[in-house]
Structure 1
Amino acid sequence: MAARGGSVLEPGWLLSPAGRPYLDSILQKNQRRVFGLLERPVLPPTLAAPTVTYKLFLSGKSGVGKTTLVATLAGTPVPPVHHETLGLEATTVYWPAKLRATGRPLIFQLHFWDCGDGALKKFEHLLPSCKEEADAILFLFSFTDRSSFEELPAQMSRVVGPDEGNLVRVVVGTKFDLSTQADVTEGDVTAFEATWGLPVLRASSGPGAGGGRGGLARVAPLLDALVERLWRRDQIVAGVAPEDEGSPLA
């Protein structure tokens, strides 16, 4: 995803030699580390970086791949068989990135909230809880399920109210690697982006895509795009140009 005015983050930095110490901080035995509630990446004092925390809620009909997407981004095993999430699952992902203007590394702490579509419909209090203090809503559709794509406008209107313009809206198309069987074409995506002014991010359905170093290369563009959008939102709210070297932390 290209941000207007160019990326404020250095693309691919985490996978470069300069980012190696920060990459090592989120790995354990060459696999993605699963962090406990009170754990965080450990770095030498000379490389310490501020932590920026965001909450992201995933919205989408059952079967589009919300749980699979979170597992892929977190580098944890992907469920081999689909089953609807019965309640609410929260997953924390740490993602180091580097500001281009200042050369300053940051560590983004992303809290992904995944709630089953059936549970959301059954318990009215769940949606407000998922959106409480949220920074972004990820609206998911599947490239192999046209109905999930066609329902996006109604879904966005239902989930985000007119007074919730502070929420970053992100659209993610899952199962992009199965696009040879796609019910949603590139022309459909281009028309949606032009109408709604929202770029569509793409995610594959490969199991274990983000587990090791090789898998990280697959999920890095999507995670970079997410933190880019959130960081830009914060700078706009603060009244500071994202490229300004004096940009405050959120």
Structure 2
Amino acid sequence: MAGPAAPGSVIVPDWHESAQGKEYLACILRKSRRRVFGLLERPVLPPPVAIDTASYKIFVSGKSGVGKTALVAKLAGLEVPVVHHETTGIQTTVVFWPAKLQASDRVVMFRFEFWDCGESALKKFEHMLPACKENADAFLFLFSFTDRASFEDLPGQLARVAGEAPGVVRMVIGSKFDQYVHTDLPERDLAAFRQAWPLPLLRVKSVPGRRLADGRTLDGRAGLAIGSKYPPGAPALLRGHAWRG
């Protein structure tokens, strides 16, 4: 499988800050806060700016407590949970991201459907994992920088989840990077993993995004600023010809 594209090589960076970008962002914001969309909902665009939608199903895998739910919440512009609670069953979250493609100068609305399932539910119910993997376009494998066991579990996760799905995009994400001072994962271990598994490895902080002037409300554009530079999985999905616009 072709290697992932470099950040910014597929989509136009900082496009969301342009006048055109802000026009598209307005459809996924409400009073500067991110709108929450259900599985059957989509942003409403005026006819002059109607665009194609590229939909991707993404399964988020990892041991209990590594921050799967927190990562999805951050990408969706929601509050990051302060206290850990095991996800019961399967939880789906839809995130829309408008972006402009570098090659064609074309604006596309990415629709990411994140599937998150608690570790206990996966072990208890055999049908859960097949349901999460079915028709998936990408797998995100999470480990926590504060939990070495979750890092050591990655090879098993990769074999169990992606072993029979060679065409699905795979990415590894290290969560709780804001607590790196407490980690027992030296950089040499990460380098050894990357050498054994040539996959994209990203680091994320498990903290809430930027807030508005009132100090309480999350700024709906904060996560989009990151996403417009590198929507999770989008460049790799496009590079892997998983386009379904």
Scaled by the length of structure 1, what TM-score is found? 0.86
Matched, 1:230 2:231: no
SS state at 2:143 partner: strand
- Larger deviation: 184-193 or 141-150? 184-193
Aligned to 1:178: 179
CA 200–221 in structure 1, closer or farther in 2 if over 3 Å, else same: farther
Please give the alpha-carbon distance, in whole angstroms, between the structure 2 residues aligned to 1:153 and 1:222. 29
Q: Distance in 1 between matches of 2:5 and 2:207?
A: 26
1:46 offset after TM fit, Å? 1.9
The residue identity in structure 2 corresponding to 1:54 is Y
Give the alignment's Cα RMSD to 1 decimal. 2.3
Is contact 1:209–1:219 with CA below 8 Å preserved after alignment?
Answer: no
**Runs (5+) with no aligned partner, structure 2:** 212-217
**DSSP-derived class of the 1:18 partner:** helix
Give the whole-Å Cα distance in 1 for the aligned partners of 2:169 and 2:103: 23
Structure 1, residues 81-109: CA drift from partner, whole Å, max 9, x if none?
10111111000000111110111010011
Whole-angstrom distance in 1 between the partners of 2:12 and 2:117 = 32
CA distance in 1, matches of 2:177, 2:19: 30
How does 1:208-247 map onto structure 2 within 5 Å?
A: 208=209, 211-213=218-220, 215-216=222-223, 219-220=226-227, 224-234=231-241
Q: Which moved more, 1:103-112 or 1:2-11?
A: 2-11
2:8–2:230 CA contact under 8 A, matched in 1:
no
**Structure 1 residue runs of 4+, over 3 Å off?**
15-18, 208-211
TM-superposed CA distance for 1:48, in Å, is 1.3
Residue in 1 aligned with 2:39? 37
Shift of 1:43: 2.1
Matches within 5 A, 1:22-33: 22-33=24-35
- The CA distance in 2 between the partners of 1:181 and 1:132, in whole Å, is 37
Match of 2:76? 74
Shift, 1:13, TM fit: 1.8
Identity of aligned residues (%): 53
Aligned to 1:84: 86
Measured against aligned partners, the alpha-carbon deviations of 1:23-60 in whole angstroms (never above 9, x if no partner) come to: 11111110111013332112222221100111001110
Q: For residues 81 and 5 of structure 1, do their structure 2 counterparts lie closer, same or farther at Cα, with a shift above 3 Å needed? A: closer
Alpha-carbon distance between aligned partners in 1 of 2:60 and 2:199, rounded to the nearest angstrom:
16
The match for 1:122 is 124
| Distance apart, 1:202 and its partner CA | 1.5
Counterparts of 1:4-153 in structure 2 under 5 Å? 7-153=9-155
3-state SS of the aligned residue for 1:9? coil
RCO (CA 8 Å, sep 6+): is it higher in 1 or 2?
2
- In the alignment, which residue of structure 2 is the partner of 1:198? 199
Give SS of 1:107's match: strand
Tell me the TM-score normalized by structure 2: 0.88
Corresponding position of 1:241: none
Structure 1 position 206, deviation (Å): 0.5
Residues paired across the two proteins, number: 237
Say which is worse superposed, 80-89 or 7-16, in terms of deviation: 7-16
Distance 1:8 1:49, change over 3 A: same
1:130-187: CA deviation from partner (whole Å, max 9, x where unpaired): 111111111000011111111111110111124x111111111101111122222333
Judged with a 3 Å threshold, the aligned counterparts in structure 2 of structure 1 residues 2 and 58 are, in CA distance, closer, same or farther, namely closer
Q: 1:142 to 1:195 in 2, by over 3 A?
A: same
Aligned residue in 1 for 2:214: none
Change beyond 3 A, Cα 1:4–1:66: closer
